[in-house]
Structure 1
Amino acid sequence: MKHMWRYVVLALLATAVATTVAVAQEVSFKDPVGDDNGPGNYTYPTDKVYQPGSFDLTSFKVKVSGGKANIEVGQNSQLEDKCWAMQYGFCVQMVFVFIKTDASAGHAEGLPGLNVQFAPEAGWNKVIILSPQPTSRVRQEVEQKVAKSLQADVIVPNRVAGSGKVISTRVDLKDLGAGDITKWGYQVLMQSNEGFPAATDLLTRKVNEYEGQHRFGGGNDADCDPHVMDLLAGDGVGDKSEADAQHTMLAYECNPDGTSKKLATLTMVYVKK
């Protein structure tokens, strides 16, 4: 009987450890509703395909299971899947998930078309692109437009799916790197899928001074403004103050000739201990 109780206790301890590990393998953040305005004054394109809330990031989750990282990005509108012949359940959104896995190193520059940089302590190590474009095209664009020094750290998933208000994908955990995902830093940028991007832009939609049928408004006609509608900020708990933190990160200044005087500078969001 004594031995039986010993096995029971050991089994309970093993279950507790397994539960702790499972919890440690999930990361979840929230973002306030209604802050899909970039630095505070960006507006949507006028075409009806861009429904209100289409670029309003509301949640982000990473869960590890069976050597895979399952990623979910929530936004504040039912996904539209009947435009532009896209086949993955969504069509107007494009999401960039930047991850800092190494506390001592990382890339400061953003990707082409975003017009952002990362603070020295927030350099990213991996970025996952969630696009409704065919995987082959996204990879080709990465090869043609992303600096060679960054390409190895850009992950284009084999499959991305949209359903309801969530865009999701799965990537191999080994492609992200070793470590505890609850200690990594994250930044999620909401952009728009552009099938006819500028020559140097990575399938991203521009922000101009005035909105147009397929252009965001409120920015600058040159390339000195951040082309980002929403992102994670603060503690990533969905507090209203995080909208102000977003506006601060995306603040920018342009020179008279349209070049950048002050580039929008981003930080990472971490799990609050």
Structure 2
Amino acid sequence: MKTSHFAVISLAAALLGAPALAADKVSFKDPTGDDNGPGTYKYPTDTVYKRGSFDLTDFTFEKKGTKADVTLGFNTTLEDAWKMGSGFSVQMAFIFIDTDGKEGSGSTEGLPGLNVKFAPAYGWEKVIVISPQASGRVKAEVGNKAGAAKDNVLVPTRVKGSGRKVNATVDLAGLEGEPSQWRFQVVVQSNEGFPAGSDLLTRRVNEFEGQHRFGGGNDGDCDPHAIDVLAGEGKGEASEVKAQQDMLSFECAEDGTAKKAATLTMVGGATKPAAQEQKPEQK
């Protein structure tokens, strides 16, 4: 009985290279064409909101010491139509992170303007806000509107859009451990320079779409203002479209408040071995 020379080399490479990468970097995919929230949402009518502008295709989080690089992929080429200076204008995203995976730990409330909750088993400890707005504006909005959650909101030190990707660098203040053990949710919204009420730079969803308003929702305050989210196992499979729609489904009371709020889960967090034991090849 002999062991294949190729198998030995492959196993050695996996053992040497996989652990650090598996621990510090995670990637997820999302189906294309599901940028309609619970299945009914429609884009604003202004031409600046191109088809695919809010269609998340992939998400990568890589920890590098005390910082992390975050990458979001979208289903269209980014444009800086409003001259934000960051390479994109209309996209915005919130990356919620559950670091301990414990039910009853963390917050189950979304940030103001999203109108989403999280299931009890998916409470979040930190959230990263990805916006084309200047970091000073974002921090001011967080300080004024995020309430008790403001200390758990991370604003990137660098945000840049190019091609179909938005890349950001964030200081990992208060985030310790291995990303491979964390759970994530990415909520895609639209950058709003003149947000309503206490909304955190988010664009509202109404019953009917308008020049700068999403349609297909409700004019009250009961519908989720989320255009795309990660769902299922984050593999980009067709079944994840239905999973997203189920999470973002909602019911409104007569007074416009939520009778049933959209409730999100997360992806990731499963422990995966660095390398599988390979059986020797027999000859």
Q: How high is the TM-score relative to the length of structure 1?
A: 0.91
Query: What is the one-letter code of the residue matched to 1:192?
Result: S
Partner of 1:124: 124
Whole-Å separation in 2 of the counterparts to 1:13 and 1:30: 28
| Mapping of residues 1-273 of structure 1, within 5 Å | 16-17=15-16, 19-81=18-80, 83-104=81-102, 105-147=105-147, 149-173=148-172, 175-270=173-268, 273=272
Whole-Å separation in 2 of the counterparts to 1:58 and 1:231: 10
Query: What is the one-letter code of the residue matched to 2:181?
Result: K
Give deviations 1:101-135, integer Å, cap 9, x for gaps.
Answer: 12231101000000000110001110000000111
Report the CA distance shift for 1:52/1:179 in structure 2 as closer, same or farther (over 3 A).
Answer: same
Whole-Å separation in 1 of the counterparts to 2:29 and 2:174: 22
Percent same amino acid at aligned positions? Answer: 57
Number of aligned positions between the proteins: 259
Report the CA distance shift for 1:42/1:133 in structure 2 as closer, same or farther (over 3 A).
Answer: same
Aligned-partner SS, 1:167? strand
Regions of 4+ moved over 6 Å = 12-15
Query: What is the one-letter code of the residue matched to 1:231?
Result: V
CA contact (8 A) 1:235 1:271 kept: no
Structure 1 vs Structure 2 CA RMSD: 1.7
In structure 1, list runs of 5 or more residues that go unmatched: 1-11
Whole-Å separation in 2 of the counterparts to 1:260 and 1:201: 17
Whole-Å separation in 1 of the counterparts to 2:43 and 2:152: 31
Q: How high is the TM-score relative to the length of structure 2?
A: 0.88
CA contact (8 A) 1:98 1:188 kept: yes
Give deviations 1:126-158, integer Å, cap 9, x for gaps.
Answer: 0000000111111111111111x2111000112
Report the CA distance shift for 1:205/1:57 in structure 2 as closer, same or farther (over 3 A).
Answer: same
Whole-Å separation in 2 of the counterparts to 1:15 and 1:171: 29
CA contact (8 A) 1:186 1:269 kept: yes
Query: What is the one-letter code of the residue matched to 1:128?
Result: I
Whole-Å separation in 1 of the counterparts to 2:106 and 2:16: 32
Query: What is the one-letter code of the residue matched to 2:100?
Result: D
In structure 2, list runs of 5 or more residues that go unmatched: 1-10, 273-283
